[in-house]
Structure 1
Amino acid sequence: MSTAASVSTRTDPGVHPWWQALPFAAVFLAFFVIPLGLVLMVSFWDFNEYELLPAFTWRNYASIWEGCGRLNEYGDFCVTLSTYLSTLKFALLSWALTLVLGFALAYFLAFHVHSVGMQTLLFVLCTVPFWTSNVIRMIAWVPLLGRNGLLNQGLQASGLSGQPLEWLLFSDFSVLLAYVHLYTMFMIVPIFNSMMRIDRSLLEAARDGGASAWQTLWNVIVPLSRTGILIGSIFIITIVMGDFVTVGVMGGQQIASIGKLIQVQTSYLQFPLAAANAVVLLLTVLMIIWGLTRVVDIRKEL
């Protein structure tokens, strides 16, 4: 009887799984659900120059979209739409460039480096830049791309340019360069993981069937790597959409982004307005992720 009771206790699914999940649920509740709920709550508060007023109002959301129903006198969109378009532009360009670079590097590591030790070494080398702060890695570009930097001096010395190229630093180019430099690793890792799970006999079967290298890549490797591509895409888009440090440092405080707008609003103690912008940004990112998961059902692929 005691043996049967102990077996029944061990196999009872109604007790142990819930107790095991309780610590993770508590952490999720304390560090995600409650802070997110507080942001949502504050987004409906009123405020003035001196204090927050915990009274329900739609004013913050109305002020975000104020004037967005028409073009201004210069033929431009309202501030919010213009800022979102600028942020989406950087997110899409960063996603495209990191996808190309990340896929190429992951492909090389997975299919052209056959030694596990060499794969590990090269993979660790890819992570070396992460041993330092993102800000330091961004600032390292300034002596290279600045008006009197090494690149401009080299171009002028070689006669390729008669004057310094102003667009190399504190421009869209420098912001995009920093994004690719900082976040390509977030694309490499999930794609490499997906590629390492591909059955190599499928590649041999494709070659035996007369498929070229490009046909094998497009019809076998890319479809089987789509889970990693999706996960990497979510990483890149969510990080870039909410970033404000990179835009501020590499854009010379001259380029608008939603993250930068929220940071400025919090610095002026406009917390309800910043919270409303944060909620709108969160919903925008969630819609993008929802669209991506409609292309690839990640739950079936994992």
Structure 2
Amino acid sequence: MSLASERAMPVPAAAAARPAAAPGLAAQARRQRRLAYWQAAPLALVFLAFFAVPLALTLMVSFWEYNEYEIIPSFTLQNYADVFEGCFSGGDLCTTFRTYLSTLKFCLLAWAFTLGIGFTVAYFVAFHVRSSAMQTVLFLLCTIPFWTSNVIRMIAWIPLLGRNGLVNDGLMALGLTRAPIDGLLYSDFAVVLAFVHLNTVFMIVPIFNSMMRIDRSLLEAARDAGASDWQTLWTVIVPLCKPGIAIGSIFVLTLVMGDFVTVGVMGGQQIASVGKVIQVQMSYLQFPAAAANAVVLLGAVTLVIAGLTRLIDLRREL
């Protein structure tokens, strides 16, 4: 037998082995898919029970009728008509649009301040603190406010910003003012201050996470190319931090848009917001009207998130 024929003999055997191995690979792939489904099942059940079902119930109740005494499970669009009453008739802005504009104002101010503070803190911790132990300590300091409830943290501002608070007393002692400043508490300033205090950490964490993933050799290359610190920050660090900025922005904007406790406590129950409207309707047991407002608010939040995700592809970046 020639050498060429001996080398050719294993080829048919290998070709015959391939069809036999194919069913085994297909069965293994099916087992892996089933295992993945079983692993995702607990989280899917939690998502279904605590998000999808309550959202469906809220949507259903928003179409029910109600009066002063009872809720009637009968389909109606009147709740949504009441939400947008007078909004499309021209003239002055309707109550709903004014309320959303007020809420949007707080959202933009809180977002701008939390972004500036969060980016600065994250930049300092990521690029100027070399020790991982010190980074952990600094992060622990950022989370200290979360050791108490939001209400307690907001109430803590009252003795500072009140008419007879420490800030007014200090300003008058320094001769900067002759009388206490009334606008420090129960005002837009107090609401924005509380929002920044409560939500800045939600901006710090994702931005810091993005900064820690930046390859430091890119910064060295920028310096070697003659870029200044500002040019390196603007052309290298900021573009690579877009996923963290987008995630932090989603956190802050969604939290502020639905908040009613902060607006009520720091605004002295005098400032309107969408969350406050829903809370008042709930307190008067007007559940269908509150559900309709909640659905409209959910739609507005979804539009904001969709706009942010169009600016950057989070799935690709992460």
TM-score normalised to structure 1 length: 0.95
Q: In the TM superposition, what whole-angstrom CA distance separates every residue of 1:76-116 from its partner, at most 9, and x where no partner exists?
A: 42111110000000001100110000000000000000111
Relative to structure 2, which stretch is displaced further, 146-155 or 193-202? 146-155
Instruction: Name 2:97's counterpart in structure 1.
Output: 81
Instruction: Name 2:283's counterpart in structure 1.
Output: 267
Aligned residues: 297
CA contact (8 A) 1:40 1:279 kept: yes
Unaligned ranges ≥5, structure 2: 1-19
* Distance in 2 separating the partners of 1:40 and 1:263: 17
Q: How does 1:167-178 map to 2 (within 5 A)?
A: 167-178=183-194
Look up the SS of the partner of 1:198 in the other structure. coil
Instruction: Name 2:140's counterpart in structure 1.
Output: 124
Same amino acid, percent of matched pairs? 68
* Distance in 1 separating the partners of 2:87 and 2:176: 45
Q: Does 1:99 align with 2:115?
A: yes
Alignment equivalent of 1:22, drawn from 32, 41, 65: 41
* Distance in 2 separating the partners of 1:116 and 1:36: 42
Look up the SS of the partner of 1:13 in the other structure. helix
* Distance in 1 separating the partners of 2:212 and 2:33: 37
Relative to structure 2, which stretch is displaced further, 230-239 or 25-34? 25-34
Q: One-letter code of the match for 2:71? A: L
RMSD value, Cα: 1.6
Instruction: Name 1:38's counterpart in structure 2.
Output: 57
Instruction: Name 1:147's counterpart in structure 2.
Output: 163
Q: One-letter code of the match for 2:31? A: D
Q: Select the structure of larger CA radius of gyration.
A: 2
Q: One-letter code of the match for 1:220? A: V
CA contact (8 A) 1:44 1:272 kept: yes
Instruction: Name 1:244's counterpart in structure 2.
Output: 260
Q: Does 1:216 align with 2:232?
A: yes
Q: Does 1:136 align with 2:152?
A: yes
* Distance in 1 separating the partners of 2:146 and 2:33: 43
Q: In the TM superposition, what whole-angstrom CA distance separates every residue of 1:159-183 from its partner, at most 9, and x where no partner exists?
A: 2111110100000000000000111
Look up the SS of the partner of 1:15 in the other structure. helix
CA contact (8 A) 1:247 1:253 kept: yes
CA contact (8 A) 1:71 1:78 kept: no
Q: Does 1:280 align with 2:296?
A: yes
* Distance in 2 separating the partners of 1:223 and 1:241: 27
Q: How does 1:183-202 map to 2 (within 5 A)?
A: 183-202=199-218
Alignment equivalent of 1:164, drawn from 177, 180, 194: 180
Instruction: Name 1:296's counterpart in structure 2.
Output: 312
Q: Does 1:255 align with 2:271?
A: yes
Q: One-letter code of the match for 1:93? A: L
CA contact (8 A) 1:61 1:276 kept: yes
Q: One-letter code of the match for 1:259? A: G
Give 4+ residue runs of structure 1 displaced > 4 Å after superposition: 4-11
Q: One-letter code of the match for 2:227? A: A
TM-score normalised to structure 2 length: 0.90
CA contact (8 A) 1:244 1:260 kept: yes
Alignment equivalent of 1:48, drawn from 67, 75, 87: 67
Q: In the TM superposition, what whole-angstrom CA distance separates every residue of 1:143-173 from its partner, at most 9, and x where no partner exists?
A: 0100011111111122211111010000000
Q: One-letter code of the match for 1:77? A: L
* Distance in 2 separating the partners of 1:5 and 1:89: 61
Q: How does 1:47-66 map to 2 (within 5 A)?
A: 47-66=66-85
Unaligned ranges ≥5, structure 1: none
CA contact (8 A) 1:70 1:77 kept: no
Q: In the TM superposition, what whole-angstrom CA distance separates every residue of 1:189-220 from its partner, at most 9, and x where no partner exists?
A: 00000000000000000000000000000000
* Distance in 2 separating the partners of 1:8 and 1:84: 55
Q: How does 1:7-18 map to 2 (within 5 A)?
A: 8-9=27-28, 12-18=31-37
